[in-house]
Structure 1
Amino acid sequence: FSNSFYFQVFPSENTECLLEGLQRIFRHIGGVPTTVRFDNLSPAVSKIMGKGERKLTDTFERFVLHYGFQYEFCNPGKGNEKGHVEAMVKYVRNNFLLPECTVANLDHFNKTVWSWAEEDRHRVHYKKQVLQSELYKEDQRRWLHLPEKDFECAYYQEMKADKYGIVSVDNKEYSTSPRFARQRVKTRLTFNTVVVLNEDNEPIVTHSRLY
């Protein structure tokens, strides 16, 4: 309603990055929008079905249930249905990310961009001729309440280590421990970590996730 925005920067468009970004925004604004519109991105949609139906990925579906918002998906190949979003992406890129940024610490950078978005809100809405910061207050009154607990934006999978105790995640290699050579282990993937767990779900080793 206010034409306000927030953005976060991640190294990939996988499920863990998508959900972590959304959750950070929900936490920062202190609420959850009643409806969120998405493109048909693979972290959210596993299959496009007839009559506008979508089969959601398991993790995304649990995320939706956790926060209670309604979701909408654009029709395939219909970029005009989210033209306003595309225009906002261009606005953010041109005004805040160009010329190209050199980012030494992505977490620090993402904490900085909150204030950039909020300072930008002190301008007149392009159509309503009212400050966006005032319209934003109306947005706030319509949000859903945050649940008490955060969603665990992580993906678990089991795999077998090779003869050197190495496991492969997204074609990147991570060590376990020599004693787990040729053994089955579980991995917990977040947007920035790969945690190798034993059969009791106890951490064996934690790695920074490679991209």
Structure 2
Amino acid sequence: MLVVETVVRIRRERAGGKSIRAIARDLRLSRKVVRKAIDAPEGAFTYHRTVQSLPRIGPYQERLDTLLTENEGLPRRDRLRMTRIHDLLQREGFEGSYDAVRRYASRWTAARRKDAGYGASAFIPLLFQPGEAYQFDWSHEDVEIAGASVRVKVAHLRLCASRAVYVRAYPRETQEMVFDAHARGFAFFGGVPLRGIYDNMKTAVTTVFTGKDRVFNRRFLIMADHYMVEPTACSPAAGWEKGQVENQVQTIRGRFFQPRLKFASLEELNGWLEDECRRWAAMQSHPEQRDMTVAEALAAERPALQPMLAPFDGFHETEHAVTGTCLVSFDRNRYSVMATAARRPVQVRAYADRIIVRCGDAVVAEHARRFGRNRTIYDPWHYLPVLARKPGALRNGAPFQGWELPPALTRLRRKLGTGDEADRRFVRVLAAVMSDGLDAVEDAIRE
């Protein structure tokens, strides 16, 4: 390709009456090139190859087209890198370079997108009215809790009109965590929008059909009905349909979670995140109404939100069997239940921060939820009927090790001393709690 200076010189010498043969001889160019430079409009001289020779790719062009077409149809996170496609071709005998494959793929992609309506990364901007909709999504973030590196699951809620954000970290992405995030998010916003936009997460969607038809999870629909929200699921692998919260994930990761956060507990982390959401809203300008902050836009949107009358009773219920040692296994840990439920089926209602165990209509246990594994959580009072029949278990029974008794019972235990007879006398006092109540027994001890 000729540089502009050479083209200008050719045109100038031709205008001065010099022949094409002489110009070609002096500049050591072909007469064909000289004529093209003279005929080029305004000195422009470019060369466009009409047919690309493919000496190496030629025999594998059909196979490469197939790989590129299949790759384009995959979700973004599952797509193959061009180095991997080159490696697959090499396994089939291809001897060309990686650059040859990369250049061909670039031309292939450009050809597919000549028509802006086919495969082009073009979108239509969306506009939401106040109180119309919110978007929900999850992200995974690395933090340090009590000196240990932990990957937490962060729930993101975003009001589409005011752009207000709420984030909260959880140990799991389970359904009860989804319920808890909605209750806390709506309380934070001061109301509930009319519509919720989700991806096809399993905690919300049971079955995905063609188009927008979905079968939503029964408990999820009950939650949506409680808040009077219309749930809407995006098309699979179409994150742009909830682009606001998708962008929020990246923004919050950079502004809140980098560098790595360090806190003593998950509760402390969530308290800090809620304060940061308020601070971010007070400092961030609304992207469309630059004269107001996100916090001011939220205050303006709040009257359009539906009132939140009460939080949803957000539990996920499963059925389990109680062992002979009055323990029920749930989420890789074991929890004690009342002795009356031993060897019987029970229903475990899991909340984000606690579990409630029911046997029929009766509540037989309630514990703070633990998220480790292989731990046993005892409530010694659950074993009191068994202890009344077997007082010797007070000394070595696992539920009674480190038992923090009320002050009056602690003093009585110390006064009675140790030994089998002291244990039996103390167990008789504990047994009175089942019939008379703890307060009455403590009053009697004080007297």
Q: Same fold (TM over 0.5)?
A: yes
Who is 1:139 aligned against? 301
Q: Which amino acid aligns with 1:60?
A: F
Q: Which amino acid aligns with 2:213?
A: E
Who is 2:235 aligned against? 75
Does the alignment pair 1:95 with 2:255? yes
Q: Deviations over 1:93-141 (max 9, x none)?
A: 1111222222323223323322211221223233432222332233213
Q: Which amino acid aligns with 2:197?
A: R
107-116 or 137-146, larger mean C-alpha shift:
107-116
Q: Give the CA deviation at 1:180.
A: 4.0
Q: Give the CA deviation at 1:205.
A: 4.6
Measured in 1, the distance between the counterparts of 2:299 and 2:368 equals 42
The SS at the match of 1:145 is coil
Measured in 1, the distance between the counterparts of 2:208 and 2:338 equals 41
Who is 1:64 aligned against? 224
Identical counterparts, % of pairs: 24
Higher radius of gyration, 1 or 2:
2
Does the alignment pair 1:173 with 2:350? no
Task: Note the 1:1-211 alignment, pairs <5 A.
Answer: 1-121=161-281, 122-132=283-293, 133-147=295-309, 149-176=310-337, 180-211=341-372
Check whether the contact 1:34–1:142 (CA below 8 A) recurs between aligned residues.
Answer: no
The SS at the match of 1:197 is strand
Measured in 1, the distance between the counterparts of 2:248 and 2:347 equals 40
Measured in 2, the distance between the counterparts of 1:146 and 1:3 equals 19
174-183 or 108-117, larger mean C-alpha shift:
174-183
TM-aligned CA distance change 1:10 to 1:160, over 3 Å: same
TM-score (norm 1): 0.87
Q: Give the CA deviation at 1:186.
A: 2.2
The SS at the match of 1:9 is strand
Q: Which amino acid aligns with 2:307?
A: H
Measured in 2, the distance between the counterparts of 1:193 and 1:123 equals 36
Check whether the contact 1:161–1:182 (CA below 8 A) recurs between aligned residues.
Answer: yes
The SS at the match of 2:171 is coil
Q: Which amino acid aligns with 2:300?
A: E
Q: Give the CA deviation at 1:66.
A: 0.5
TM-aligned CA distance change 1:170 to 1:49, over 3 Å: farther
Measured in 2, the distance between the counterparts of 1:108 and 1:91 equals 21
Q: Which has the higher contact order (CA 8 A, sep 6+)?
A: 1
Measured in 1, the distance between the counterparts of 2:182 and 2:366 equals 28
Check whether the contact 1:186–1:201 (CA below 8 A) recurs between aligned residues.
Answer: no
Measured in 2, the distance between the counterparts of 1:199 and 1:34 equals 36
Q: Which amino acid aligns with 2:245?
A: V
Higher helix share: 2
Check whether the contact 2:354–2:366 (CA below 8 A) recurs between aligned residues.
Answer: no
Measured in 2, the distance between the counterparts of 1:114 and 1:205 equals 28
Structure 1 gap ranges (5+): none
Measured in 1, the distance between the counterparts of 2:276 and 2:164 equals 12
Check whether the contact 1:159–1:185 (CA below 8 A) recurs between aligned residues.
Answer: yes
Check whether the contact 1:194–1:209 (CA below 8 A) recurs between aligned residues.
Answer: no
The SS at the match of 2:306 is coil
Measured in 1, the distance between the counterparts of 2:175 and 2:363 equals 24
Q: Which amino acid aligns with 1:191?
A: A
Q: Deviations over 1:147-202 (max 9, x none)?
A: 2x321011233221234443332344333356644321221211122222333422
Check whether the contact 1:165–1:181 (CA below 8 A) recurs between aligned residues.
Answer: yes
Check whether the contact 1:174–1:207 (CA below 8 A) recurs between aligned residues.
Answer: no
58-67 or 162-171, larger mean C-alpha shift:
162-171
Q: Which amino acid aligns with 1:189?
A: A
Check whether the contact 1:168–1:174 (CA below 8 A) recurs between aligned residues.
Answer: yes
Structure 2 gap ranges (5+): 1-160, 373-447
